[in-house]
Chain A
Amino acid sequence: MEFISQHPVLVVSVVKIAVLLFIVMTALAYLTWFERKVVAHIQSRWGPYYVGAHGLLQPLADGLKFLFKEDITPPASDKLLYVLAPFLALSLALTAIALIPFGPPGVRVLGQPVFVVSNVDIGLLFLFAITSIGVYGVALAGWSSNSKYPLLGGLRSSAQMISYEVSLTLSVVGVLLLAGTLSFNGIISGQGGYWLGFIPRWHIIPQIVGFLCYLTAAIAETNRVPFDLPEAETELVAGFHTEYSSFKFAMFFMAEYANMITVSCLATILFFGGWLSPFPDSWKWQLFLPGAGLLLLGAYTAYDTAVVMRGIARIQFAVVTLLALGGGAICLIPPVAHVIQGPFWFVTKVIVFLFFYVWVRGTLPRFRYDQLMSFGWKLLLPVSLANLVVTAFVILFLARRG
């Protein structure tokens, strides 16, 4: 106890890191399930269905499969870099999430904010610093495999990341001009308040062009469809991770999903008010939205348990029902409802972005390499530059007048 009271920062940080890591890892696993389900329904299929009810245990089965597969290291590879690359990719992707504030800084335990692991003053710059190093995971994987297709994938990846990182950074500068700070907490609390009493003052409205640029560049940065040229399977087998198997492959997979979560969180923070609610404070019923949502989910699964499910799936769904109903009831208790407001809105917005990602993947065909380059340099870059210049002029103009 004495140790805890003497080193609150250390103790709370370690606990926060452990909890966040657990949540993020689970979220990564179920993001794969979410993606497969949504893409399946877009393509008029059912998606995973047999492992657990509605395929809910599929991520667990996949994880076990990755763990027990043979781990092959190509004899001609550069051993050190071959092992280093997946570690680099995953650890950097996870480090970036430590900077994201999931809720208001006011909620504190032992004087430490609960909803962010590391509250850095220049959070945005640090996030960009970490993600800009992330390209080495992919590039080194491609190089160290010592094989044609991975090398091509690694090359494409580095070229793509260099090209789109410029637009990504420039598209965000408009928001920085409006916010006047690099700290995530500052950027979010700057978006509080409402126009006409009910339209939230989020940066998406003045910065719609910047947001569209950010969204496009972010998809390219995370190597997702339609910009997934580094791993285009019709051209490059599996691109940079062709030679990787077993858990090293799983690490690249997890890194990609972690990056998706990071850029979605960033979009939420910069353009959609982070943990702020879209409704004015006076609308008190919004406090009970998370609880009501969980109760609705519980009612649906209860119906499924009673009518649709058979055999072992029925037992699994009964557990899900109990969890949802119990969680919903707890969330309706006023103090709990107050505390989870911030994280609830944050997570909801992030899920909307993740859905958008999957939607795009299910809908759009892949770019050709030259299209990718000319799109990035000839369209995205000038537009985000113009957005920056116009924003700067408008801010100066309004400052002169007011």
Chain B
Amino acid sequence: MSLPFLVFFACAILAVAGAIVLIVAREPIHSALALILVMMALAVLYILLGAEFIAAVQIIVYAGAVMVLFVFVIMLLNAGVEERTDWSKIAKWIGLPLGFFLLLEVAHWLAHSSVGKAVANGAGGPQTAFSTTELSTALFRQYLFPFEATSILILIAILGALVLARKAE
């Protein structure tokens, strides 16, 4: 087994384990930390795919900024331990089997489609690392409109938050 292969499985298992802890944990801050773990594991997977820039940005933006805000809010509100509610009957009898079925379906597709085979043979990701220069050129030439549209979307979200948070006069 090669080293990237081992790293992939270690990070994949970490990511899945983190995701499970995120849902199961009863202390909100534990859930937040589990989410950070998931994001870090994903960042390592990005590095394995040769997308160093995306990996670094993933850590800076999500793990470093967004999740710090989450943790900050949890600490500020001093949120207590979650209380368990009764399971929804529908989720138990229909949701779980359906989820399991979906998982099987994806696994089947991955094992038999051409894309899945290519990924399994290690041909899926780009073989050479994308340089930051190429990425920024693509972002600001080819995809300029979607990029700017996203910025405006975020600006609208910030304005919305401001309106909601403003004290009534």
Docked-complex contact A155 and B76, CB < 8 angstroms: yes
Which residues on B sit within 8 Å (CB–CB) of A139?
68, 71-72, 75
Docked-complex contact A158 and B75, CB < 8 angstroms: yes
- Given A129-B59, A129-B60: A122 and B68 interface contact (C-beta under 8 Å): no
Which residues on A sit within 8 Å (CB–CB) of B64?
128-129, 132-133, 135, 165
Among A78, A133, A161, contact of B63 (Cβ-Cβ < 8 Å): A133
Among A81, A125, A140, A159, contact of B53 (Cβ-Cβ < 8 Å): A125
Docked-complex contact A121 and B52, CB < 8 angstroms: yes
Q: Tell me what chain B mostly uses at the interface: helix, strand, loop, or mixed.
A: helix
Which residues on B sit within 8 Å (CB–CB) of A165?
64-65
Q: Does B137 contact A (CB under 8 A)?
A: no
Docked-complex contact A81 and B129, CB < 8 angstroms: no
5 chain-A/chain-B pairs, Cβ below 8 angstroms: A121-B52, A132-B63, A133-B40, A135-B68, A143-B75
Q: Please, how many angstroms separate the alpha-carbon atoms of A121 and B63 in the complex?
A: 21
Q: Which of A77-129 contact B (CB under 8 A)?
A: 78, 81, 120-122, 125-126, 128-129
Docked-complex contact B72 and A121, CB < 8 angstroms: no
A299 to chain B, nearest CB (A): 48
Docked-complex contact A81 and B29, CB < 8 angstroms: yes
CB nearest to B58 among chain A residues:
A129
Q: Does A182 contact B (CB under 8 A)?
A: yes
Q: Does B57 contact A (CB under 8 A)?
A: yes
Q: Does B11 contact A (CB under 8 A)?
A: no
B36 to chain A, nearest CB (A): 7
A52 to chain B, nearest CB (A): 41
Q: Does A396 contact B (CB under 8 A)?
A: no
Q: Does B150 contact A (CB under 8 A)?
A: no
Q: Please, how many angstroms separate the alpha-carbon atoms of A222 and B68 in the complex?
A: 16
Which residues on B sit within 8 Å (CB–CB) of A159?
72
Which residues on B sit within 8 Å (CB–CB) of A129?
43, 56, 59-60, 63-64
Q: Please, how many angstroms separate the alpha-carbon atoms of A78 and B30 in the complex?
A: 10
Docked-complex contact B129 and A121, CB < 8 angstroms: yes
| Chain B contact residues, CB within 8 Å of chain A | 27, 29, 33, 36, 40, 43, 52-53, 56-57, 59-60, 63-65, 68-69, 71-72, 75-76, 78, 129, 131-132
Q: How large is the interface on A (under 10, 10 to 19, 20 to 34, 35 or more residues)?
A: 20 to 34
B63 to chain A, nearest CB (A): 6
Which residues on A sit within 8 Å (CB–CB) of B43?
129
- Given A158-B68, A162-B68, A165-B65: A133 and B59 interface contact (C-beta under 8 Å): yes
Q: Does A136 contact B (CB under 8 A)?
A: yes
Q: Does A151 contact B (CB under 8 A)?
A: yes
CB nearest to A139 among chain B residues:
B71
B136 to chain A, nearest CB (A): 11
B56 to chain A, nearest CB (A): 4
Q: Please, how many angstroms separate the alpha-carbon atoms of A121 and B51 in the complex?
A: 12
A135 to chain B, nearest CB (A): 6
Q: Does A142 contact B (CB under 8 A)?
A: yes
Docked-complex contact B129 and A155, CB < 8 angstroms: no
Q: Which of A125-153 contact B (CB under 8 A)?
A: 125-126, 128-130, 132-133, 135-136, 139-140, 142-143, 151
Q: Please, how many angstroms separate the alpha-carbon atoms of A155 and B76 in the complex?
A: 7
Q: Please, how many angstroms separate the alpha-carbon atoms of A135 and B52 in the complex?
A: 22
Q: Does A274 contact B (CB under 8 A)?
A: no
Q: Please, how many angstroms separate the alpha-carbon atoms of A233 and B64 in the complex?
A: 27
Q: Please, how many angstroms separate the alpha-carbon atoms of A397 and B29 in the complex?
A: 49
Docked-complex contact A155 and B59, CB < 8 angstroms: no
Q: Please, how many angstroms separate the alpha-carbon atoms of A121 and B130 in the complex?
A: 11
CB nearest to A131 among chain B residues:
B64
A137 to chain B, nearest CB (A): 12
Which residues on B sit within 8 Å (CB–CB) of A158?
68, 71-72, 75
Q: Which of A324-351 contact B (CB under 8 A)?
A: none
Which residues on A sit within 8 Å (CB–CB) of B59?
129-130, 132-133
Q: Does A154 contact B (CB under 8 A)?
A: yes
CB nearest to A121 among chain B residues:
B52
Which residues on B sit within 8 Å (CB–CB) of A130?
59
CB nearest to A130 among chain B residues:
B59
Q: Please, how many angstroms separate the alpha-carbon atoms of A159 and B132 in the complex?
A: 30
- Given A133-B64, A158-B72: A122 and B29 interface contact (C-beta under 8 Å): no
- Given A121-B52, A121-B129, A162-B65: A128 and B72 interface contact (C-beta under 8 Å): no
Docked-complex contact B56 and A126, CB < 8 angstroms: yes
Which residues on A sit within 8 Å (CB–CB) of B69?
162
Docked-complex contact A136 and B29, CB < 8 angstroms: no
Docked-complex contact A155 and B72, CB < 8 angstroms: yes
Q: Please, how many angstroms separate the alpha-carbon atoms of A129 and B62 in the complex?
A: 10
